[in-house]
Amino acid sequence: MSLDRPVTRVLVIKLGALGDVVLAFAPFAAIRAHHPHAHVTLLTTAPFLGLASASPWFDAVALDARPRPWDLRGLLRLRRLLAGHDLVYDLQTSGRSSRYHLLAGRPPWSGIAPGCSLPDRDPDRDRLHTRLRQAGQLAQAGIPAVPDPDLSWLAAFGPVLPGSVALLVPGAAPHRPAKRWPAERFGALAVRLAADGMTPAVVGAASDAPLAAAILRACPEACDLTGRTTLLELGGLASRAALAVGNDTGPMHLAAAMGCPCLVLFSRHSDPVLTAPVGRRSGQVQVLRVPDLAVLEVDDVAGRLGLGAADGIPPLVMTS
Residues 158 and 294 in one domain: yes
pLDDT in tens, 93-151: 999 999 999 999 999 999 999 999 999 999 999 999 999 999 999 999 999 999 999 99
Residue 273 lies inside a defined structural domain of this protein: yes
Residues 104 and 68 in one domain: yes
Residue 44 lies inside a defined structural domain of this protein: yes
CB of 89 closer than 8 Å to CB of 31: yes
174 band by pLDDT with thresholds 50, 70 and 90: confident
Sign of CA dihedral 240, 245, 249, 253: positive
**pLDDT value, residue 215:** 98
Q: Does position 31 have pLDDT exceeding 90, yes or no? A: yes
Q: Between vectors from CA 14 to CA 274 and to CA 38, what angle results, nearest 5°?
A: 125
Instruction: Report the pLDDT averaged over residues 294-302.
Output: 96
Q: Which of 117, 150, 183 is the last residue of a domain?
A: 150
Q: Between vectors from CA 61 to CA 52 and to CA 203, what angle results, nearest 5°?
A: 30
Q: Which of 150, 175, 192 is the last residue of a domain?
A: 150
Residue 184 lies inside a defined structural domain of this protein: yes
Residue 315 lies inside a defined structural domain of this protein: no
In the sheet with 39-44, reading across from the earlier edge strand, the strands are 60-63, 39-44, 9-13, 87-90, 109-111, 118-119
Residues 129 and 162 in one domain: no
Nearest to 205 by CA among 175, 226, 232: 226
Residues 75 and 144 in one domain: yes
**pLDDT value, residue 173:** 84
**pLDDT value, residue 175:** 84
Q: Which of 98, 127, 150 is the last residue of a domain?
A: 150
Give the 3-state DSSP-derived string for the chain, with helices as H, strands as E and coil as C: CCCCCCCCEEEEECCCCHHHHHHCHHHHHHHHHHCCCCEEEEEECHHHHHHHHHCCCCCEEEECCCCCCCCHHHHHHHHHHHCCCCEEEECCCCHHHHHHHHHCCCCCEEECCCCCCEECCCCCHHHCCHHHHHHHHHHHCCCCCCCCCCCHHHHCCCCCCCCEEEEEECCCCCCCHHHCCCHHHHHHHHHHHHHCCEEEEECCCHHHHHHHHHHHHHCCCCEECCCCCCHHHHHHHHHHCCEEEEECCHHHHHHHHCCCCEEEEECCCCCHHHHCCCCCCCCCEEEEECCCHHHCCHHHHHHHCCCCCCCCCCCCCCCC
Residue 192 lies inside a defined structural domain of this protein: yes
Residue 310 lies inside a defined structural domain of this protein: no
Instruction: Report the pLDDT averaged over residues 149-171.
Output: 96
Residues 213 and 279 in one domain: yes
The answer for residues whose C-beta is within 8 angstroms of residue 124's C-beta and 6 or more apart is: none
pLDDT in tens, 197-245: 999 999 999 999 999 999 999 999 999 999 999 999 999 999 999 999 9
Residues 78 and 165 in one domain: no
Residues 212 and 98 in one domain: no
Residues 133 and 174 in one domain: no
Residues 138 and 99 in one domain: yes
Q: Does position 153 have pLDDT exceeding 50, yes or no? A: yes
Residue 266 lies inside a defined structural domain of this protein: yes
270 band by pLDDT with thresholds 50, 70 and 90: very high
Provide the mean pLDDT of the chain: 94
Residues 27 and 136 in one domain: yes
User: What CATH number does residue 107 fall under?
Assistant: 3.40.50.2000
Give the structural domain span for 212. Answer: 153-304
Q: Does position 320 have pLDDT exceeding 80, yes or no? A: no
Question: How far is it, in rounded angstroms, from Cα 90 to Cα 109?
Answer: 7
**pLDDT value, residue 293:** 97
Residues 84 and 211 in one domain: no
Residues 296 and 163 in one domain: yes
Please count the structural domains in the chain.
2
**pLDDT value, residue 5:** 74
Residue 71 lies inside a defined structural domain of this protein: yes
